[in-house]
Structure 1
Amino acid sequence: MRLICLSVNYENSKLADRAGLWEDEKTLRLMLDGGPLSELLPIHTCNRTELYGIISEGSELPSDSIPSCADILTGKDVVEHLLRVLLGLESMACGESFVVSQVKKEYDRYSPLCGRILNRLFQRSFNLAGILRTEYHPGRAPSIPWLMGQAIKDHPAWPSPRIALIGAGDMGTETAKVLKAMGLPFSVSNRTEKTGRSLAEEAGADWIPWERWKDLTETSDVLIFATSSPEPLLSEIAGGNRPWIIDMGAIPQVEVPGLKRISVDELKDRTLEILDDYRRHLGKLEEETDEAAQALWADLTTVRTDTYRRLAMMRVGHIVDERAARTAQKTGASEEILRQMAWSVAKGILSPVLEMNSPHSSRIWRALSEEERS
């Protein structure tokens, strides 16, 4: 089983490098239909864009399909990486839990491109990650919106900056929770009024209709953009107000020169400082994640081992039947007795392999199952 993951993440790329990568389903299907992969699943989160796949027998991924900045993981390393992603251990906001819902949405969206192995990998990983988080997580989880909230504390108007939140999707909802927890009043605007009004009411914020959100640029100290707009929403600001821009869009939401703009990319160095002590409390979780990855990898390879084992034993059965019938014709002995004797000999020879239960046994069963071998 040639399991692979191409990871383009906040550590090896900028948001612009990840925008649009592995999103077009037609292009993805070309990688399956006669392409190098037999299964694949892309995931897109705030911090990363990744492609998980099973390389088809006798195929290789063409080099021009692999981004130059991508980290390439294979085998057990892919399993451990996925568990670490689901546990937030690979996130900029280490230990965060928001990533789980993002990955699940991607799995639901692209699962038709998966086969038996990737379905099993992701379903088991969701389950294991939930158990590990419950048992070993220290109990407090930062997030990208939380880190953005810490950045607001540097604003000259702190502790009473005027804040406007543009967007009420998943990221906007999480941001509203952070702002409410920090005791900061703010306004909300969203393209879909029902969703935006609901969030504003829940967070105790002011609701601003979408057609009026640009008015907030003249009255706000901080504008937080949490939309999924495929193009910038703001290209100019009337008047002399120069608000801070906190931009959580995968594609930059603001193109106004001269404004202080804090994006996910700009948070990287600050995050290392803020969360340095917190990371040390994740040590036990990381140890258990490594153990869980080894167990899950063994489980995945055992599935393939069982397949090769069945093929090998079927081939042994054909050989036993053939030899028993041939010998019975030559000697006149009972074919059934000869078959039982032959099976006893075959099982005796194979007994060391039959008792093995490790990922390495897959190679042995595969060799025994191949037709050209005697």
Structure 2
Amino acid sequence: MKELSSKIASIEPAKIRKMYDMAQGLDNVISFVIGEPEFDTPEHIIDAAKKAMDRGHTHYTPNSGILPLREAVSAHFQNFDKVSYNPLDEIMITVGGMQGLYLSLLVLTNPGDEVIVSDPCYTNYYGMIEMNHAVPVTVPVYEEEGFNFTEQGLRAAITPKSKAILLNTPSNPTGAVADRATIEMIARIAAEHDLYVIFDEVYKYLIYDEEDFFNIARIPGMKERTIIVDSVSKSYAMTGWRVGFCLGPEPVISEMQKIQEFMLSCVNTPAQYAAIEALTGPQDALTYMNEQYKLRRKIMVDRINSIDTLSCLMPKGAFYVFMNIKETGLTSDEFAIGLLKDQHVVVSPGDCFGAMGEGYVRLSYATSVENINEGFDRIEKFVNKLK
């Protein structure tokens, strides 16, 4: 048999899934590994999908998604992000934020083009960039600087092959939020070097402590070089529905629509109607979930910082804590695997997210208060055994 794709063979599988798989078969496991809300999708959103099916909305839609959803997305961004996009030709519905990211890279990059990402960053960025025959170029970001890009670090990464900056705020895995000054600095560099910005804002509703969310496309001259990626997955507990959206310049979105026909035709039709209800219907569940995340964040951070040799920053957004384990003397892998074997608690090793993640582990607080407290009782036992 002829060999399979050498490009795909060269891409390493995600280590987060390795930890998830290792936990299978163990009893009484406490999991902080998967970034998924523990809440079920709000009932009024589920009802909207049922009604859509009852009305016969079970057929193909346009490649770019149904117009009522694109109109709802447009109105939402005008209200929340303070940016204006034409639903006819500047918005496309995607299979979650993941497909939006992939399509953005597919349309923007040629083989050998470089895409700048932070280190640490969302682990799937690396694989997506490499699958598109582009090259991820990492910019170290440091705990002491809030895990955000600095101008010096970003400028050092730019070469003649640079094509785009991938900016995720709030950030997975660190919970960092780029403030307006940081975003203006990134915009200035992007314009100076004629770079695109892929703006991954899927956690934008999950910002705490009065932090202001600022969309980079608001800056004069940036709308035409920015592709926004968002979804209903995290904010509305709709991870399994797989509905996201891309917003950007018409020439970019039109290319995405073309590729959609060859890729999967369209997004699940009833799920698109559910997404309309998520964006336009009652927001009580979203408010409640955010209040719960804020409570759970404090509990987790307090528990971490009360344990000798462990520490963390208070994350400003998303639902992750990036816990510093350097004083334990263990590597990220040793800590995560040892904790799983000894206490049946599963976390993500920090080096899943890049070389700069070594010495950290990521934990999701999108779980119950009971799980957080029980999990940290076990983590404390594990750490005490190391002394």
Provide the TM-score with structure 1 as the length reference.
0.32
Structure showing greater Rg:
1
Q: Which has the higher helix share?
A: 1
